[in-house]
Each structure stands twice: as C-alpha cells, then as structure tokens.
Amino acid sequence: MPRKQTSEGSAPTALTDTEREVILREILEGPPSYCPDEDDEIVDPHEGWEPIPPTLEQLIDWLQSIEKTYARISWWERRFRLRSWLDEINDSYGPFRCLRDLSEALDFIDRTDCPGHPMLQPQNRPGRPKLTRSELRNRCLVALAIDALKVAGVSNEKSAKAVADWLSKHGSSKVAIRTSTYSLPVHSWETVKNWREEIVRIAQGKGRHRPLIREIASEYLRQRERLPKVIDARRIDPKAIAVLLLERMRRHSRSGKTQGILLPKAF
C-alpha cells in the first residue's frame, strides 16, 4: 500500500519494490481473484471413474423398449431413438465407421441445409443390382421346386405359376419378385421361370459373375440331376418335395412341417 503523507504538503515516503509490484498488478491486471483453500474446492464424485459400457442384455432391452412404442411414434421420433441407440454402441464399443455412417444418414434426413448422406443415395450405375450369394441360393431352391413339380408331370408354366403363388401367399422375404423388368410389365410367374433359366446360363459361364456365384449355379445343376432320383428312390410325392424346398428358405419355421399343398388337386 502507498505510504501516507506525514503532514500536509510533505512528500510521501518511498515505496518498497514489493509495494510497487502490487500497485502495478492491481492497475494492469485488476484486483486479485479469490483463491479458495483446498478444503473449499468442489470435488467431482465421478472423477477418476471410467464409464461402464452397457451390456448386450441392456442394449437389447433398450431396443425392445423402442420396438414397443415404434408403431405409435412419428418417423422423426423413430429416427431419433435409433440414432441414440446406435451412438451408444459406437461410443461404448467403437468407433465403428459403419454405425457412424448409419447414424449420420438418419440425421441427414431431417436436414435441408445440405445434400443427403451418400448412404441414402441410390446407386448411379445402370442395370440390375448385383446378385448376392444368399439371393441366388434362394432362387436355386425356387428353381428346384419347379423341377420337382415337373417330375409330377406339371407343365413348366403351371409349375412356375404355382411356385409364384406359394411365395406370394406365404409372404416370403427371402426372395424378391420384381413385377417389371425395365419398362415392360412381367408377371411374377414369368420372373420365377426366368430365374431358373438364368441360373443355367450362369452355370454355363455366360454373363459377368463372380466365381462364387457360378459355383452356386453349377451346384444347382447337380441338385437338379439328383432330384428325380431321390423322389423315385424314396417314393415321395414330388409336390411335397417342392413345398419342402420352398420352406427351406424359411429358416425360422417353428413346426418344420409342410404348410398346406402347393397345387390344387386339379393340377
């Protein structure tokens, strides 16, 4: 602190170096802030603790809670809840780029200030989508079902119609039946019939396909050759075999038994 004058008009007493430093600091930096004692500091009770990631059971419970209200909430709320679930998994066990991209894609749906996320953009390549192994295997089962009906003496067209009708009635999600090819309308039974013919072409080396796809198609030819021999040796109704082949696509079938007949008795 500056020294007081000893009498009116007399010169002040000289300041010490420490006093001058304090005065300058108060002018240049302001008054000193309050520094509480260590006992006064606020302590975070979670300091030093690592967050515990949710267990698989907890994540499934969370997803089930979303599912319970899913039908009653808006699309925006659905996206929000799914994003929260994905982000929790990514933060706890990631980072996973695939989950981050999926979460961002859901977020971009509601944003109008930027272009859509690449994950939501349609493929810009002309032509049909690439055939996957699981899809081709299911198509092979469909083709074998047609072959089984042909063993029973049913025509190629009626066999394809019966199989297409079975697929539509049983709501199969294992194969996709497109009702149009480019701009030309095509009946579903014709699409099913064309699958069988396409599998043969793939096995013969035609078209541009991966080796694994060709191997699956070649295996179909061997299965088709064995089919009538098995039916004859075991004396099984070919129509029942056709249903068994189609149900092979339904991995989660509870009963494991055939679900009704494939063809009317008139066939």
54-85 tens-digit pLDDT: 888 888 998 899 899 888 888 888 888 888 88
With H, G, I as helix, E, B as strand and everything else as coil, classify residue 180.
strand
Residue 19 lies inside a defined structural domain of this protein: no
Alpha helix locations (H) across 5-129?
Answer: 17-29, 56-69, 75-93, 97-108
Q: Tell me the pLDDT tens digit for each residue of 119-151.
A: 777 665 555 667 788 888 889 999 999 999 999
> Is the peptide bond prior to 95 cis by the omega test (within 30 degrees of 0)?
yes
**H/E stretch holding 181:** strand 180-181
Q: Are residues 66 and 96 in the same domain?
A: yes
Q: Are residues 155 and 103 in the same domain?
A: no
Residue 70 lies inside a defined structural domain of this protein: yes
| pLDDT grade for 177, boundaries at 50, 70 and 90 | low
Residue 246 and residue 142 in contact, taking contact as beta carbons nearer than 8 Å: yes
Q: Tell me the pLDDT tens digit for each residue of 183-216.
A: 445 568 888 888 889 999 988 888 878 888 899 9
Q: Are residues 193 and 240 in the same domain?
A: yes
Residue with tokens 């309308």: 185
Containing structural domain, residue 62: 56-114
Q: Are residues 148 and 228 in the same domain?
A: yes
What pLDDT was estimated at residue 140? 92
DSSP label of 40? G
Residue 90 lies inside a defined structural domain of this protein: yes
Q: Tell me the pLDDT tens digit for each residue of 17-29.
A: 776 676 666 655 6
Q: Are residues 81 and 166 in the same domain?
A: no
| pLDDT grade for 257, boundaries at 50, 70 and 90 | very low
Residue 212 lies inside a defined structural domain of this protein: yes
Q: Are residues 218 and 172 in the same domain?
A: yes
Q: How far apart are CA 245 and CA 144, in angstroms?
A: 7
With H, G, I as helix, E, B as strand and everything else as coil, classify residue 1.
coil
Q: Are residues 105 and 167 in the same domain?
A: no
Q: Are residues 227 and 140 in the same domain?
A: yes
Residue 49 lies inside a defined structural domain of this protein: no
What pLDDT was estimated at residue 246? 86
Q: Are residues 230 and 161 in the same domain?
A: yes
Residue 13 lies inside a defined structural domain of this protein: no
Residue 263 lies inside a defined structural domain of this protein: no
Provide CB contacts within 8 A for 11, sequence distance 6+: 5
- Token couple for 156: 């190629």
**H/E stretch holding 184:** strand 184-185
Residue 83 and residue 103 in contact, taking contact as beta carbons nearer than 8 Å: yes
Q: Are residues 173 and 218 in the same domain?
A: yes
- Token couple for 228: 């009538």
**Number of other CB atoms surrounding residue 146 within 10 Å:** 25
What pLDDT was estimated at residue 27? 57
Q: Are residues 66 and 162 in the same domain?
A: no
Residue 78 lies inside a defined structural domain of this protein: yes
Q: How far apart are CA 140 and CA 156, in angstroms?
A: 16
Q: Tell me the pLDDT tens digit for each residue of 43-60.
A: 555 565 666 788 888 889
> What total number of domains does the chain contain?
2
Alpha carbon of 177 to those of 6, 186, 187, 191, 262: distances in Å?
107, 10, 9, 7, 18
Between helix 211-234 and helix 133-151 the angle, nearest 10°, is: 30
Q: Are residues 190 and 242 in the same domain?
A: yes
